[in-house]
Structure 1
Amino acid sequence: MNFKKYMMGGALGIMIFSCAPRQEINYMKDIENISLDNSIKNSRSTLQPGDQLVITVTAKDMDVVKPFNQNYSSTMTVAQYTAPAGNSQFQPVPASGPTYIIDTNGSIDFPQIGNIDTKGENIETLKNKLVVLISDYVKNPIVDVKLINFKVSVLGEVARPGTYVIPDGNATLLQTLGLAGDLTTFGLRHNILIVRNVDGKFTQERIDITSAQFINSPFYYVKQNDIIYVQPNSVREKSARVDPNTGLYISVASVIASLVIGVLALTKN
């Protein structure tokens, strides 16, 4: 009888350690009821000191725009990022052209024009600003601006924690979580923490991705250097405080108990 009790206790222990409480795992259940007006306004990040921009200027006569493409090299400038080893899905993002780093005052030194203030600008508005400035020298210039070091960090209960570069600098929270392989079954979907640094000021917000209400939040689109932390549920937290081999010990004890009971049963026969 004692062996039967051990076996039942082992089975109960396995169930406790392997089962998580039921929680909401559907994303944005009420999406059909949400207006997307504010979401569109938040889709572009303002540029920040330390951002690396590749800016190229072209025109019908390329000789005319050469002075605006100083130090141009055909060598690729590669934006690096941290990603899990052996994951070929995530590759460095190549970009070619002159690279400008926004200084601590929020400015870049552009050839022929000089100091250009980027504070409050995003990729599109800076592009338009450069077109206007260069038009004083070149007829119908075409300006291309790329942000090559836009990165966010995803930590906690996701499949692939790490720091990821967003090639076009435009991604939603859900797309970023997708890069990290989505939340594990232990991740709290209604309490995702986002830590943001804008112009040296840190802000934080907790997001519930089971509700579409967050679409119109300023945190729906990720920003440069965002830190996204997915909090574990109570089951994961409790299991982290006990011996990680406890589940294995219980499983082994259960198997041994079953074998002993089987042997005793054969002996009696």
Structure 2
Amino acid sequence: MKTNILYLFLISVAFFSCKTQSDIAYFQNLENKYDQGIAIDTLLNYESKIVPDDILSIYVSAEDPNAVAIFNLPAVSYLHIGQTDVTTTPKLQTYLVNKDGNINYPQLGQLHVAGLTRKQLEELIKSKIEIYVKDPLVTVGILTFKIVMLGEVNHPGTIGISGDRISILDAIGMAGDLTIYGERKNILLIREKEGKKEFHRFDLTDPAIFTSPYYYLQKNDVVYVEPNKAKKSSAKYGIDKQFNITVTSTIIGAISTIAALFIAIFK
């Protein structure tokens, strides 16, 4: 048993010492592949778009607050049981994008917002309101931007995003980076689009990730980092070891029982 453990240890050491550069380092040969740099427009032009079931916060302001009051949902406060005065902080109401991609907006009626970016929706509402109000300021927020990180990362789980976009590298960083057992060459992205699942693979050792159309994540994307060969091998060895121990214990128990039986008979 000790010989087997020592043998496995030596193999693991050899494996990691030989594979450190090729399996663990990110963006290998970056300078050779992109000696002229990467066009910044490739990375900056992406903006998240509104989709059905999104929850939006929309607020309109102007020099005269009373002039735009009709274009804002009323803030609501809650009176808890036992209270006689409303002392809680008012909560701004939100808009749910229905399955057709629409919201019902005060005074403006039904607006089709699906497919628009946050800035485009701000401009759309502003263009309709400025007919009645001079220089309105419209602020739109998307409150449902989240992604899920699973597998061999240090902090798996759901990540809420406050900005307009997040890259695959941002997401990995927010999850605490990959563990030493994470497979860096075959990261899986699962995305739902128009009711269908899309699948894409990332290779973090290849600088081409920066020009991938999937570099920026979308709402509700799921990123899965599968275990590498070292983790799979160690897990398999652990199962085999546990099985061997169980079998050995059973055999020893049986021998002890038989020995006790013989002793009893001969006595």
Interval containing the TM-score (normalised by the shorter chain): 0.7 to 0.9
Distance 1:229 1:7, change over 3 A: closer
Shift of residue 193, structure 1, vs aligned partner:
0.8
Structure showing greater Rg: 2
Whether 1:67 aligns to 2:66 is no
**What residue ranges of structure 2 are gaps of 5+ in the alignment?**
79-89, 246-267
SS at match of 1:24: helix
Indicate which of 34, 43, 48 corresponds to 1:45.
48
Q: CA RMSD in A?
A: 2.6
Give yes or no for contact 1:38–1:217 (8 Å, CA) kept in 2: no
1:29-178 aligned at under 5 Å gives the runs: 29=28, 30=30, 32=34, 33-42=37-46, 44-73=47-76, 97-178=92-173
Distance 1:202 1:157, change over 3 A: same
Shift of residue 178, structure 1, vs aligned partner:
1.0
SS at match of 1:63: helix
Shift of residue 20, structure 1, vs aligned partner:
5.2
Which deviates further from its counterpart, 236-245 or 216-225? Answer: 236-245
Count of residues in Structure 1 that have an aligned counterpart in Structure 2:
224
CA distance in 2, matches of 1:246, 1:218: 45
Distance 1:74 1:58, change over 3 A: farther
**What residue ranges of structure 1 are gaps of 5+ in the alignment?**
1-5, 76-94, 251-269
Shift of residue 130, structure 1, vs aligned partner:
1.2
Which deviates further from its counterpart, 95-104 or 194-203? Answer: 95-104
- TM-score, scaled to structure 2: 0.75
Shift of residue 245, structure 1, vs aligned partner:
9.1
SS at match of 1:187: coil
More helix by share: 2
- Between 1 and 2, higher relative CO (CA 8 Å, sep ≥ 6) is seen in 1
Give yes or no for contact 1:39–1:217 (8 Å, CA) kept in 2: no
SS at match of 2:8: helix
